[in-house]
Structure 1
Amino acid sequence: MGLTLVKLSLNLLLWGLIQAVATNGGQKWVRANVPQYRVPGETAVLQCDYDLGNDTLYAVKWYKDHEEFYRFVPKARPQAIAYQVEGARVDVS
């Protein structure tokens, strides 16, 4: 039996991050790391790193097929929320 790979098609909403980086000067950056392919059923680690300097992060949201499955809002309680979306499972521990 051959190895089957599926392409991950995930959209990352970084509007708050991109807006902060684009509108203010200084050493600021955003980097999203999403593996391009994975074997069905295996874990895929999605990572968003950022440095906004003195600016404040509003939110980072992850989507699968236009449905939000993860949200991180530093000022909210709880900060991290995982939503049930078919084909996406989030470990927030």
Structure 2
Amino acid sequence: MSICLTFISAGTLLQNVPSELHWWDMSGDIEGSQGLRLLDIRVPQYGELHGSVTMTCDFKLEDTKLYSVKWYKNDFEFFRYIPDNSPQTQSLPVPGILLDLSSSNMTTITLIRLGFNSSGTYRCEVSTEAPDFKTVVGSGDLSVRGESPA
């Protein structure tokens, strides 16, 4: 799995780190990341056809308020969590995505009934409220495997 973490502060790209690692510990000081840190993003490398997968996006807020957590597949938004909205969670239609909303929240999403079109790059984007508008982003690739009925 390939993970790319990007740290953005007030719209300025500060760091872009590609890696073959499955896990990142962002506990060290990174310029511009005070107030919001991405601790861990987990996107399974493989999912089974017709099965389910759980993805996580763990972050830490320090003296700032969460604005939103959004998930994207191949740059198309399919899930958002906004704590000040009612309801707090919203699912958006994207081909290949079927969410179990009862087990999807601020840090975790579960995709069910995977199809081959569920394969792709999944990105989690976490943003804080004004005045800082800090954003951290992490991503990973999921490949769905299995056999189609003949």
Structure-1-length-normalised TM-score: 0.67
Structure 1 residue 72 displacement after superposition: 0.7
Q: How does 1:1-93 map to 2 (within 5 A)?
A: 19=9, 23=32, 25=34, 29-30=37-38, 31-93=40-102
Q: Which runs of 5+ in 1 are unaligned?
A: 1-6
Q: Which runs of 5+ in 2 are unaligned?
A: 11-29, 103-150
Q: Distance in 2 between matches of 1:24 and 1:66?
A: 23
Q: Distance in 1 between matches of 2:95 and 2:41?
A: 22
Aligned-pair Cα RMSD in Å: 3.2
Structure 1 residue 22 displacement after superposition: 5.1
Query: In structure 2, the residue corresponding to 1:55 is in which secondary structure?
Result: coil
Residues 34, 62 of structure 2: 8 Å contact kept: no
Residues 25-83 of structure 1: per-residue CA shift (max 9 Å, x gap): 37x53121111111122101011111112211111111112221101111111111011
The structure whose residues are more often helix, as a share, is 1
Question: Which amino acid is 1:29 matched to?
Answer: R
The structure whose residues are more often strand, as a share, is 2
Give the paired residue count.
81
Structure-2-length-normalised TM-score: 0.44
Q: Which has the higher contact order (CA 8 A, sep 6+)?
A: 2
Q: Distance in 1 between matches of 2:89 and 2:54?
A: 16
Calculate percent identity across the aligned residue pairs: 36
